[in-house]
Amino acid sequence: MVRCRRCTISGVTGKALAYIRQRELLKPGDRVGVAVSGGADSIALLRVLLELRGELGIVLSVLHFNHKIRGAEADEDEKFASALAADQGLEFHHSSADVPAYAAEHKLNLEAAAREARYQFFESFLRNRSLDAIATGHTLDEQAETVLMRVLRGAGTKGLAGIYPKRMVRGCGGQTVGCIVRPLLGLRRSELRSYLASIHQVWREDASNADLQYTRNRIRHGLLPLIETRFQPTAAAALAQLAEVAREEESYWNAELKRVMPAVVEKSTACTLTLSVPHLLAFSPAMQRRILRQGAQNLGLSLDFEHLTELLRTVGGSMGKSCALPGGWVGTREHLSLRLERRPPAAASFYAYTLPIPGEVEIPEIGRVIRAFLRIVQCTGSGYNREQSLDPAAVGQELLVRNWQPGDRFRLPHSKAPKKLKELFEQRHVSAAERLLWPVVASGGKLAWARGFGASAEFQPDEGARHVVVIEEHVPLARHEL
């Protein structure tokens, strides 16, 4: 039971309030978008936060994403969420996507594709600064299912950390633009349904949650209940505790990595990484694996245990020894260095992708995602870098992301005329191999943005602009990251 100034808050609402405060998920004044699918967990989340908004000092709105997977049923879910938001006097924001088509295009399973599309929608509200936090209805049961699923897949402590109570979302330049929070992560699914019944709140049932073709559903309806009834009644809580321990372990190791990486990394670019073999071998095998994994991750490369083991054999081998890595990457021992690089195809490679505004596109050739979004300029000079921004009127509705081509010209800020990008590469000592796949963003046949150079002076907004387009490049999130 949690005491507050005006009343006594108990039960599910009290547990949620204690969880929010203990983990500092929300603060007074936060504009919180509640992700409401229409299912019991998300409806319970909305009703709990409605009860707590006065105590927490937060402003609520409702977000709904239609995955276009279940046809008319999904449309009814959207109507239900919209009506509930209207009944509570809340703003309702919704969007949709053809997730099956997205899954086929990106070679993902339906679950992963749905999650990616959904979170792109959610995080757009954080990046345009219209919301401070997105709250999702993940429960203790889902935490247990996630950890168990990753145990079966052979995850390390990063995977065992499961669903984070709070995940920061970063924008252009790496600054934090908001967070994803899970206020119900300490509550069982059964508690939430009992709570909804007690307040006479109905919800929608998603038939796909019973479809056993999905691994999570087989764990939810088969494996976890079997463990709880035949082996350990408190298995879900134990798995959730394991996740919390793993998160603390990850926090420690990440701090250690931040401390030691500068001594190990000899050179790092968007296309290559060179590590000092003597410095790397000075650490324990556990730290060596983490250094290699972190370095590869910075390149947009995901390495499993077998790849890390092969890389360590290469490190301990003779000069010139190399090993093949996923996606055309290679690790090579050169003298006292280990070099990771992505070798371009023998034939000249060209890529080009349409980038909508707002929107993002994954560039497999370089292992990066390029994102474009609109930013409202609240106050000129505050949180706004003109040299990294584009004028919306100058770029229209979409852009073209492609690799650099000979003859491309780019106008630096404060310069009178464009220069050949090749000359700028030479001034900054960008190697010929790196130039081949170097990403640029074009509009109307001219370069509007280039990696490492920001926005072209020809496309920068005026000093008094109220809206700007921001381009950012980042490493794709791991598919399992929550």
pLDDT per residue as tens digits for the range 431-453: 777 788 899 999 988 999 999 89
Q: Give the tens place of pLDDT for each residue, 220-256.
A: 999 999 999 999 999 999 999 999 999 999 999 999 9
Tens-place pLDDT, residues 373-422: 888 776 544 455 677 789 998 888 889 999 999 899 999 988 888 999 99
pTM of the shown model = 0.74
The per-residue pLDDT for 269 is: 81
More confident residue, 283 or 429: 283
Write down the architecture of domain 269-342 according to CATH. Answer: 2-Layer Sandwich (3.30)
CA atoms within 13 A on the CB side of 415: 16
Each residue of 45-84: pLDDT tens digit? 999 999 999 999 999 999 999 998 888 999 999 999 999 9
Amino acid at 324: A
Cα distance between residue 323 and residue 333, in whole Å = 9
Instruction: Read off the pLDDT band of 318 (50, 70, 90).
Output: low
One DSSP character per residue, 260-303 reads: HHHHHEEEE-SSEEEEEHHHHHTS-HHHHHHHHHHHHHHTT---
Residue 7 per-residue DSSP state: -
Answer whether residue 171 shows pLDDT above 90.
Answer: no
CA geometry: angle 458, 464, 469, nearest 5 deg:
55
Domain boundaries, the chain: 10-243, 269-342, 352-474
Give the H or E element holding residue 252. Answer: helix 235-264
Phi-psi region of 20 (alpha: psi -120 to 50; beta: other; left: phi over 0): alpha
Burial 227-253 (b: 16+ CB within 10 A, else e): beeeeeeebbbebbebbeebbeebeeb
Please tell me the CATH superfamily of domain 10-243, with its number: HUPs (3.40.50.620)
Would you state the pLDDT for residue 476? 67
Q: Which residue has the higher pLDDT, 398 or 14?
A: 14
